Amino acid sequence: MNYATPPRHTVCKSRAYEKFIKSKPCIVCDKRPAQLHHVDRARGNASLCVPLCDDHHVGIYDGAYHNRAVSKFKEREAFEFHYAVNLDHVCLNLLAEFLNDY
């Protein structure tokens, strides 16, 4: 088992955690308010969420996660490359921060 990433089969449904994620700034530009983005389309799994501003989530930037010019199967890869970010690490760090404060 790889402990560097949150387990994909574990489903966490927590309104408190979703509220915590939304209270954070965008992981790209620190802009607020942030939207809840489900990594790898893991809807219903709060542990696989990151905060993204509207522009970086679905917006105007070429590097927006849901950029219509990028195949939905390549969105994550393109986003991580464009912004030099590892979404698994971001998810894990946010979850650890939440659990530490909880």
Total domains in the chain come to 1
Q: Which domain does 90 fall in, by range?
A: 15-101
Place of tokens 């393109």: 78
Per-residue pLDDT tens for 43-73? 666 678 899 998 888 765 565 666 655 666 6
In a domain, 8, yes or no: no
pLDDT of 74 strictly over 80: no
pTM assigned to the model: 0.74
In a domain, 48, yes or no: yes
Q: Using CA atoms, how far apart are residues 76 and 99, in angstroms rounded to an integer?
A: 26
In a domain, 38, yes or no: yes
In a domain, 9, yes or no: no
Q: Please, what is the angle between helix 75-83 and helix 87-101, to 10°?
A: 80
Q: Using CA atoms, how far apart are residues 16 and 102, in angstroms rounded to an integer?
A: 10
Per-residue pLDDT tens for 18-44? 899 999 999 999 999 998 888 876 666
In a domain, 60, yes or no: yes
CATH number at residue 63: 3.30.40
Task: Compute CA distances 70 → 5, 23, 65, 76, 78, whole Å.
Answer: 25, 28, 9, 10, 8
